[in-house]
Each structure stands twice: as structure tokens, then as C-alpha cells.
Amino acid sequence: MSSEPLDEPPDEPPPSGLTEVPPPGPVVELAESCVRFVQAATGVTLDFSPETLPVLDHYVALHRDDLLRRPETIGLVARAAGTYFGEVVRRQIRSFWNATSDDPALWELRFEPVYLAFHPVAVAYDAVTHGDEEGPTAHIQLDDEDRQAVETRLADLPSASDEEFFSFSTRLEVLEIAVEAIKSRMMSTGLGEVLFTNTDYEEGS
């Protein structure tokens, strides 16, 4: 696997046909630090593809015990791993960052095809701690009318161990299922072509 610059445009136009919004500089820096951490520990160079998420899960599992013994170090790994995960998601599902805060734990990834946003660093914090340590909350921001559709789809998933449940690979799967469920509902009401912008999220927050 080979790394690629985060701010280069994709070879093909994005599915929505809109101009891709590049990630902010601080996001680029943190995501690239994750690439360096994982390469040093495993010899694998992450390339921002979904197929690299099991490698990131392995990296977190390798270091979990040490991190939990020194809770002050969890934030560093969570910020780097979460931002990398967010970049994987952004390349997989049309979305953009809201990273105006100085605290990466507050950075959001906001989707365009559906109204859905989440905090990638919070996802990483859960991946490290399995929800057993106080930290940022990895909730998904949805419209109330979409939440039931998503919960119904997720209820069909088989039960999973903590390792699987909190993994980055599973979280990407959950996001993809959520997008599919919301988009299906939107299409059934004639809103399938609607795209969401930063203004929509600011008004809904």
C-alpha cells in the first residue's frame, strides 16, 4: 500500500458531481501522523482505503493495554486515528469536515447525500477504550425521522464482541448502512436528489 497526498483531487469526479471540498490543514497533519505511527509499528503504510481499517484496528489493539495504563496518552492516539478514520470515510462517502475548533475531538464529518454527522475522534476514543473511559461521545447526528429507519436496519446486524463492535471497520459498516437507510427513506418521499450543505447542519444544530 502506498500513501497519497490528502489534498489532491480524485482521479474520477465524486458521485455527487460537486467539487470536492479538501480537508483542512490540521486534518491533513493529524491523519498523516497516524500513517507514520502505524507504519513505524507495523511496517504497513496506510493509503486511506477502507481495506486499511483492519490494520488500524490491529494497531489500536496492540497498544490498548499501554494506553489504558497511561490514560493521558489516549488523546494523542485517538486524535490521529480518528482523523485518519474520518478521511477514509470522506473518501468513501461524500462528506466534508467541520473543523473550526482547536480541539480535534469536536471536529465533525458532515455528509452530503444524507443528513448525518459524527465526531471521528470520539469513534477512535471508543475503539481504544471500548467505552470504559470517560471521553468524547461517539454519537451520530440524525434527523429524528431518520433515526428509526437507521435503528431498524442496524437491529438486523448479528451480535458482535466488544472488539468487533468498537472497531473502525464495523463503524464504517454502520455508517454505510445508515446512509443507505436514510437515502431509501428520502427516495420514497421524492427527496432522493437532495444534498446537504454546511448551512443545513448549522441550522439543525
- Give pLDDT tens digits along the chain (205 positions): 433 334 443 444 344 334 477 899 999 999 999 999 999 999 999 999 999 999 999 999 999 999 999 999 999 999 999 999 999 999 999 999 999 999 999 999 999 999 999 999 999 999 999 976 666 766 889 998 899 899 999 888 888 888 899 999 999 999 999 999 999 999 999 998 999 999 999 987 6
44 falls within a domain: yes
Quick check: 121 and 74 in contact, CB under 8 A?
no
Query: What are 90's three cell numbers?
Result: 470522506
- Give a yes or no: residue 187 inside a domain: yes
Q: What is the pLDDT of residue 17?
A: 39
- CA 85 to chain centroid, in Å, comes to 5
Q: Is residue 78 one of the residues assigned to a domain?
A: yes
From first CA to last CA, the distance across the chain in angstroms is: 39
**Range of the structural domain that residue 156 is part of:** 25-197
DSSP string, 40-80: HHHS----SSGGGHHHHHHHHHHHHHHHHHSGGGHHHHHHH
Q: Is residue 146 part of a domain?
A: yes
Cα separation, 109 vs 121, whole angstroms: 10
Q: Is residue 1 part of a domain?
A: no
User: Could you tell me if 135 and 143 are in contact, meaning their C-beta atoms sit under 8 angstroms apart?
Assistant: no
Domain count, the chain: 1
Residues 6+ positions from 2 with CB-CB distance below 8 Å = 45, 47
Amino acid at 119: H
Give the model's pLDDT for residue 109.
97
The letter for the amino acid at 92 is Q
Q: Indicate whether 133 belongs to any domain.
A: yes
Examine residue 11 and state whether it is found in any structural domain, yes or no: no
Residue 189 lies in a domain: yes
